[in-house]
Chains A and B, each alone.
Chain A
């Protein structure tokens, strides 16, 4: 089920909220309501995948319990291996076979497995829990809140990636506690902001992006088309994913649950390290804590830092998709982060505007590689972007791109809205309610468009 679909907004969400508050006095009943709703939500795409996610959760919990009873770390390692194996099988098997095929010339049969939606997200959350158990940073939770921590529908498909200790304790809190109305009010506004960004901006950029990146596999785009493709995708991706996050955070707030921040206006970043502190924050934090620091981080010399950064960002790319263009995108950012840190250590700061322009150009080049249907078309688009194929053509959809740029620059993050900006003013209710109603009718025009990050 998609957050922006009429069935979610008009039926699923209101019904779930009503049921949840009807049994709010009992923590167990509240949690069962959320578990049942989350299974319906997740199974809406393909009920078969419910079996997979429930199996992974159950197996992980049983292994964590076995560790509790025996103290043998092998149980936890088995859990990590199990989750990685599931992710590897469903997401990377055909990619690995294809890569072996290219390297060896031996033809392998393909599995052609359907990618279970959200598998990267829920597998990572389960792994993070097991690693935290190993480190002694996580207790053995009762099964119900543990399952809910992974399943709870606002974040199960595409994050934000939540730590167990951020979410599980919240399940015990009565949602009718002080601040309930402020939370619900903020949730409605934040959800509506995401709803509007998705329906009115991101989805309107999608046809241009799809068309130009498809054409780039057949012919050389001109200068105007290449810039249209690069800019339109840059804004589409941000608006789509941040919209998803806002709808997730907004939905969770209706249940008295706070999900972590994921974006802080990343296109205002003035250097690449700043960008990664603002873009997909929950993933950045996850990679930092579970990969980058264990690999040595920045405190064990320059060569270890370079190694840790390159490996972390290469795997970050691979996490996004089973394709070498994703790996290249990750490595591009890894190199960029190393250069950026090196420059900053020189102590010669770049003028802010130059830093911003350079960072955005760097990010845009990365997005072209990220989105392109292969290295050949990525190279072709980048060549056109640089003017190697002349300077013909014009920027298409210029008004829409300008509007998307404006929205990306001025719309505050969900937590900024919740914690600092929103005030209980009637005008806020009137404007957002009308906007939400308009979006409900607008999205009804055609089949709702999937979020880009659902494929990762």
Chain B
């Protein structure tokens, strides 16, 4: 046999063998729990990307209620809500998610687990983004995982990212790797409380500038013409989401509490625009019988630097406080005695 022929055959054998072996490994380990003939093993969430990890949670049918949102909603613990809401929550909030991604996530849940008993939308900037319909996707949101086409799921599995997650899952079963988050999506993604340093947090909250006192001024008044020129494309998606739910579903629209330094500064036009967006969201919520709760105000939480790691992310005890207040507001219809939130629609 000529030498080059042997080399070519060796190349083809190793290449084809490597591809087939890696593909089989992915299909059998099936880290995203989507292959019908995969090994019958436990599949905790080991992926570092919530966008890839969550579809299997929603397909599992273990949950009847859902939280969508960005990182500002990720610390809400489903176990804290389950009893009072008499529901089984999955917290499907994703870091830096866009309104589009949240809509797609909700739709995926609805198609695979049925209309949620309770839907909580953790609202932040993304819902009021005038370019929400242009900048729909962030951080490699895998749209193929959130559609109804199973074939593109299989085709998209064959990559080194999935290979790595499959290896992590094997590592989990060998005791070498821990699940990234609870199966209901809850993960404490902020640093340990014992590592908290107020001065460092303050530098992050105020972007290295000296903290500024909050002026007590109302936002400038927008004319009707200015208001009608404002576009919030994501609100049409919100309207669709709420419209798809039966009357029996509880709908909660929650403006999440970011620090006042990260909110629109009082007295600016941006604050007026945000107020208009809030008004429109409230109107949509009212039209669909949703409860609209606003923590995105100047409050004892949002004016206190020690509530936050940075301008957007509150600390774990604050998350527990928000969850308690969520129960009070949504289940009992109670106002906040401390002024932490306003109930815009009940």
Residues of chain A whose beta carbon lies under 8 Å from any beta carbon of chain B: 6, 10, 181-182, 184-185, 188, 424-426, 428-430, 432-434, 436-438, 440-446
Chain A residues with CB under 8 Å of B156's CB are: 444
Given A429-B14, A444-B159, A444-B160, verify A10-B7 contact (CB < 8 Å). Answer: no
Return the CB mask of B10-28 against A: 1 if under 8 Å, else 0: 1111110011001000000
What is the CB-to-nearest-CB distance from B245 to chain A, in angstroms, rounded to a whole number?
34
Taking the closest CB of chain A, its distance from the CB of B208, in whole angstroms, is 17
The docked-state distance in angstroms from the alpha carbon of A182 to that of B2 is 9
Q: Are A434 and B8 in contact (CB under 8 A)?
A: no
**Which of B14, B15, B22, B140 has the largest number of chain A CB atoms within 10 A?**
B15
**B163: which A residues are within 8 A, CB to CB?**
441
B192 at the interface (CB under 8 A from A): no
- Give 6 nearest A-B pairs by CB, closest first: A444-B159, A437-B18, A424-B3, A433-B14, A181-B4, A429-B10
Q: Which A residues lie within 8 Å of B158 (CB)?
A: 6, 440-441, 444
- In the complex, chain A residues whose CB is within 8 Å of the CB of B12: 433
**Cβ-closest chain A residue relative to B20:** A437
A426 surroundings in chain B (CB, below 8 A):
6-7, 10
Which residues of B have CB within 8 Å of A184?
4, 8
Contact of B140 among A10, A188, A444, A446 (CB under 8 A): A446
Which residues from chain A contact B160 at a C-beta distance below 8 Å? Answer: 438, 441-442, 444-445
A429:B7 contact, CB within 8 angstroms:
yes
Pairwise interchain contact A445-B19, C-beta atoms closer than 8 A? no
* Distance in Å: Cβ of B100 to nearest Cβ of chain A: 18
The reply on B40 being an interface residue by CB < 8 A is no
Q: Which A residues lie within 8 Å of B19 (CB)?
A: 10, 437, 440
* B10 closest partner in A (C-beta): A429
- B159, A185: Cβ atoms closer than 8 Å: no
Query: Quick check: A185 and B7 within 8 Å, CB to CB?
Result: yes
A356 CA / B2 CA spacing, docked (Å)? 43
| Interchain CB contact (< 8 A) of A424 among B7, B159, B161 | B7
Expressed in whole angstroms, the minimum distance between the Cβ of B135 and any Cβ of chain A is 14
Task: Give the residues in chain B near A181, CB-CB below 8 Å.
Answer: 2, 4-5, 7-8
- Taking a contact as CB atoms under 8 Å apart, the answer to whether B14 and A441 are in contact is no
User: Chain A residues near B15 (CB, 8 Å)?
Assistant: 433-434, 436-437
Assembled-state Cα–Cα distance A67/B159 (Å): 54
Contact B6–A424 (Cβ < 8 Å): yes
Q: Given A441-B159, A444-B160, do A430 and B140 touch, yes or no (CB 8 Å)?
A: no
Residue pair A428, B7 in contact (C-beta under 8 Å): yes
Contacts of B159 in A (CB 8 A): 441-445
Residue of B11, B12, B158 most packed against chain A (CB within 10 A):
B11
Residue of B with least CB distance to A186: B4
Q: How far is the CA of A450 from the CA of B159 in the complex (A)?
A: 18
CA distance A432 to B15 in the complex (A): 9
Give me 17 other A-B pairs in contact (C-beta within 8 A), A429-B7, A444-B158 excluded. A184-B8, A188-B11, A424-B7, A426-B7, A429-B8, A429-B10, A433-B10, A433-B15, A434-B14, A434-B18, A436-B15, A438-B160, A441-B158, A444-B156, A444-B160, A445-B159, A445-B160
Tell me the smallest distance from the CB of A251 to a CB of chain B, in Å.
15
Chain B residues whose CB sits within 8 angstroms of the CB of A441 once the complex forms: 22, 158-160, 163
Contact present for A430 and B14 (CB under 8 Å): yes
Q: Write the nearest CB–CB distance from B22 to chain A, whole angstroms.
A: 6
Residue of B nearest to A430 (CB): B14
Given known contacts A424-B6, A445-B159, is B11 in contact with A185 (CB within 8 Å)?
yes
A424 engages B11 (CB within 8 Å): no
CA distance A434 to B12 in the complex (A): 10
- 8 Å CB contacts to A: which residues of B1-56? 2-8, 10-15, 18-19, 22
Most A Cβ at <10 Å: residue of B4, B6, B156, B158: B4
Query: For residue A425, which residue of chain B has the nearest CB?
Result: B7
Residues of A within 8 A of B3 (CB): 424
Contact of A182 among B4, B13, B22, B161 (CB under 8 A): B4
Q: CA A434 – CA B22 in complex, angstroms?
A: 11
A11 to chain B, nearest CB (A): 11
Specify which chain A residues have a CB less than 8 angstroms from the CB of B140 in the assembled complex. 446
Inter-chain CA distance A430–B2, complex, in Å, is: 17
Question: Please, which residue of chain A has its CB at the minimum distance from the CB of B163?
Answer: A441
| Bound CA span A185–B7, Å | 7
B6 touches A433 (CB 8 A): no
A430 contacts which chain B residues (CB < 8 A)? 10, 14
A434 to B21, CA, bound (A): 12
- A434 vs B163: C-alpha distance when bound (angstroms): 15
Question: Do residues B4 and A185 form an inter-chain contact, with CB atoms below 8 A?
Answer: yes
Chain B residues within an 8 Å CB radius of A446? 140
Partner of A433, one of B5, B11, B22: B11
Chain B residue nearest to A423 in the complex (CB): B3
Q: Closest A residue to B9 by CB, please name it.
A: A429
Which single member of B4, B11, B13 contacts A432 (CB below 8 Å)? Answer: B11
| Nearest CB in chain A: distance from B281 CB, A | 31
Roughly how many angstroms separate A109 CA and B234 CA in the complex, as a whole number?
34
Name 16 interchain pairs, CB-CB below 8 A, sorted by A.
A181-B2, A181-B5, A424-B2, A424-B3, A424-B6, A426-B7, A433-B10, A433-B13, A434-B14, A434-B15, A437-B18, A440-B158, A441-B158, A442-B159, A445-B159, A445-B161
